[in-house]
Structure 1
């Protein structure tokens, strides 16, 4: 009697959105806590003129020597506070734009749709994160050491000296930064996913997502770093007259005064954060969602897990 060997793959229902959001936020905050010093170094590189910053290691040593180890975590509260709403917009807006473009414009599932939804979601995300990024930049700026007692003092000082509009300084550059990163990220991972073989195990899926996220994040970083540099320069200006205003004129000014290479200041610490940071995101997200399923849901171990995207 012949028998057919049939491989049964157990796939459970996706987690409810609020559980997925909570897991993404926990993973994101964990990544911030572990990798944030590289973000401080990135900001210092972007604000430097000429060759003031020699290396990542040298920058770490200088910060610790002159400002103390706590300076490596200066300004960490704003990105932690915005992490959950940022994740909600990243996930929710992507799905909403995907539905809109498919229904209204008839776009099929493709790389074009992935890029379009990524760009749109990134621009939407920028409206929420711009003010938190501005406060973070002000706190990270070495020139402001001792100026602000804490995050709330920074917020109140900005409100008092620059008004409510001051919190949206650099909005144009922030929109371009997030739109380019999300467009590049989601567009590339769509193609990389198609090119890689389908994994047969959960560990294989984890590795595939890690590879896709790292490649997509690197491309997104290549695309958006010039506007990240501009955003940092614009948002660091508290008192006029302002040298940097609109994004594209600022790009031209930086190229004329410092050369085109200056548009990629901070690229290395940003990429170094991306790889390990993406791995941390995936591992923590997997652990948290697995714990949620064991404690809150009845279900089978799934090979169909949607992992959060990497950080900017």
Structure 2
């Protein structure tokens, strides 16, 4: 992801910046991810649904299972966030350079921003699938597992090591759509915002563009995320491939079912996208002061 300072940095700095940004976001926003998953996994609506909304889901979890349950499974995403976010931002920076040379374009354009974001998302998906699978199995209301290790042992025992990649296809689509939208919107928003001539203006621009990018990416990929959660939960064998499953949910539960969990997801990934961008660019700028100190 481009920053206001164009000087390049070695991969290790991109990796570290992405890791710090990802862990910062997950520590702040994780309870919303728990609520999102619970709502996405419930089949049915109205009186037949376990949770009627975000507040009801939050209240029931706290009252019936205790506040700590909101953070159950956080070990897996914490372990995932460093390589996930580092891969996202580093791949985006690397592919932006590759694509500009490949297409003979001196400056980034919105089309290239979408292409590099989508490619980075595809790379990211291969990193996150096992961690996402473990997280979903722990977040499920009916989960029998007490720790990530217990989940991994159960999956490997019953499905082999390749079982850890259940949901790869849906995860691939989810990250391609989200990252393409996220980076594409960030490029467009930055282009229309006032030039960042001060650190505070730069932070504001990053927060605003990252938040809008996160909201737009969430609106685009939520139906895929609903399918991914159901595939990885393993409670039903009828969800296999992404787009046929989207059509199945639409026919059986209606269009609104494709956006189950949208509110907690957008509440997390909207501001979360802003947090990511601010922390990442701040870390990159800090590392530039170290790398170019001479």
Distance in 2, Cα, partners of 1:278 & 1:102: 25
Distance in 1, Cα, partners of 2:96 & 2:117: 9
Q: Deviations over 1:39-72 (max 9, x none)?
A: 0000011101122221211111101122111211
Distance 1:22 1:103, change over 3 A: closer
Distance 1:285 1:189, change over 3 A: closer
CA contact (8 A) 1:90 1:121 kept: yes
Distance 1:23 1:222, change over 3 A: same
Q: Deviations over 1:159-201 (max 9, x none)?
A: 1012122111111110110000011111111111111120221
CA contact (8 A) 2:134 2:152 kept: yes
Deviates more, 1:278-287 or 1:88-97: 278-287
Give the corresponding residue for 2:97.
99
2:243 to 225, 240, 248: 248
CA contact (8 A) 1:107 1:113 kept: no
Cα RMSD over matched residues? 2.5
Tell me the CA shift for residue 25 of structure 1: 1.7
CA contact (8 A) 1:12 1:299 kept: no
The answer to whether the aligner puts 1:234 opposite 2:231 as a matched pair is: yes
Give the corresponding residue for 2:72.
74
Tell me the CA shift for residue 106 of structure 1: 3.6
Give the corresponding residue for 2:221.
224
Distance in 1, Cα, partners of 2:286 & 2:91: 26
Distance in 1, Cα, partners of 2:185 & 2:88: 16
Tell me the CA shift for residue 137 of structure 1: 0.3
State how 1:137-216 maps to structure 2 within 5 Å.
Answer: 137-144=136-143, 147-216=144-213
Q: Give the gaps of 5 or more residues in structure 2.
A: none
CA contact (8 A) 2:210 2:276 kept: no
Give the corresponding residue for 1:135.
134
Q: Which runs of 4+ in 1 moved over 4 A?
A: 11-16, 282-294, 296-300
Distance in 1, Cα, partners of 2:115 & 2:288: 33
The answer to whether the aligner puts 1:272 opposite 2:267 as a matched pair is: yes
The answer to whether the aligner puts 1:47 opposite 2:41 as a matched pair is: yes
Count matched residues. Answer: 286
Distance in 2, Cα, partners of 1:161 & 1:210: 44
- Greater gyration radius: 1
Q: Give the gaps of 5 or more residues in structure 1.
A: 1-10, 301-312
CA contact (8 A) 1:40 1:140 kept: yes
Distance in 1, Cα, partners of 2:54 & 2:100: 44
CA contact (8 A) 2:210 2:277 kept: no
Distance 1:152 1:248, change over 3 A: same
Give the corresponding residue for 2:26.
32
Structure 2-normalised TM-score? 0.88
